[in-house]
Structure 1
Amino acid sequence: MKKIALSALFAAALLSSPVFAQSAAQAAKEPKAAKAAKAPKAAKADGTVYKLQPQLSTLGWLGKKVGGQHNGTIQFKDGDVLVKGNQIVGGTFVVDMNSMKNTDLTDAGYNAKLMGHLTSDDFFGVAKHPTATFKITNIAPIKGAAATANNATITGDLTVKGITSPITFPAKIGVNKDGLAAATGTATIDRTKYDVKYGSTLFGAAADKAIDNDFTMSFNVIAKK
């Protein structure tokens, strides 16, 4: 109790001191100086930020199970692509988990049942985790890649259900003369690394009812300067 009381007295003394009051008043009068200290300008020194265009970009998913598969779409919410010269060198992307849809089930009842399960805590826990994010940490060129083939290997940190784990996948990336940065490809993701364990034989599911641990995300990202 004495330590708490002393801490409270020290905090009160600090807040009421002339030096603290003068510093606070000076900061309030100088908003421009405070803004100048923010990080974005330092980031721009490493390249030019292109803004993701969610309405032009697409993201598709495919999951397989014994005897079948399901596929659908999900939407980007926000994102930035970092460009240096005419090369993509980084990026951060936010996915809206509430936008997830199934596109192969035409029966409305079965479709709703599947989506209710996928958004539940058994799978992606969308109510608690409404977004997923991906941050590029490295881009390595693929030497000798054909003009129509994947030309880079992308590595980054994927966060799903609040859990972050790295993934690596090939993609075709580039920047054109019209000021558009684009990336297309397919990433394979091990769902069990993000606590999505339902139907996995690694966690007790019967082999004849198993759902593959890996699912794929196909993407077409468009960003503008």
Structure 2
Amino acid sequence: MKNFKSIALALVAFVSFATTAQTKKVDAAKSTINWVGKKVTGAHEGTIAIKEGNLVFKGKKVVNGNFIVDMTSINTTDLSGKGKTNLDGHLKSDDFFGVEKFPTATLVFKTIGEKGNGVYAVTADLTIKGITHPIKFELTVAGNTAATTLKVDRTKYDIKYGSGSFFSDLGDKTISDEFELTVKLAF
């Protein structure tokens, strides 16, 4: 009987250990976010830094996540000199991300569905400029890395500058409402 109790106790301890969530902190220095914004006459691209973030696992499965992005780090990589300085400044201004008032953006996972082979369907709340909307994307996890691509409709976050959805006479100055983020995380 004593042996049975020991086995039962060991089994309970093992099950508890196997189902306990483990939070893995994202290594901000090794993680990247690349952005692309398009306009009628071309596109611009750059980077933005992750301030901090976590993925939560139960066993090998992702069950949660949250991230803070440093909006003050917006950096254009396809320009140099005065053009780069001007675009970086404009993106940080109130016409776009208003980083003085809103220095961070956040992404908080709400639901996660496992699709198999380390791929997850994620619905998250994205907050930019203090405005929150749901966003859906696929997250691929392999080892100590994760990657995704998100398409964000900037007009949902009161970023209407140059939007053909709000201004009809922009011609070749029209900027796409969507921008794309390619995210690679290391943890």
Shorter chain as denominator, the TM-score bin is: 0.7 to 0.9
Match of 2:104 in 1: 131
Identity of aligned residues (%): 43
Query: 1:201: how far off?
Result: 1.3
Corresponding residue number in structure 2 for 1:157: 125
Classify the secondary structure of the residue corresponding to 2:165: helix
Counterparts of 2:68 and 2:185, CA distance in 1: 12
Question: Which secondary structure does the structure 2 equivalent of 1:104 belong to?
Answer: coil
Q: Residues 69-218 of structure 1: matches in 2 within 5 Å?
A: 69-106=43-80, 108-143=81-116, 151-174=119-142, 176=143, 180=144, 182-205=145-168, 206-218=170-182
C-alpha distance in 1, partners of 2:156/2:20?
A: 32
> Which structure dedicates a bigger proportion of its chain to strand?
2
Alignment correspondent of 1:19: none
Root-mean-square deviation (CA, aligned residues, Å) is: 1.5
Residue type at the aligned position of 1:216: E
Cα distance in 2, alignment partners of residues 162 and 75 from structure 1: 18
Moved over 4 A (4+): none
The amino acid across from 1:77 in the alignment is K
Which amino acid in structure 1 is aligned with residue 109 of structure 2? I
Q: Deviations over 1:57-81 (max 9, x none)?
A: 1111000001110000010001111
TM-score (norm 1): 0.71
**Alignment length, in residue pairs?**
168
Aligned to 1:20: none
Residue number in structure 2 paired with 1:61? 35
Bigger radius of gyration: 1
* CA positional deviation for 1:46: 5.8
TM-score scaled by length of structure 2: 0.85
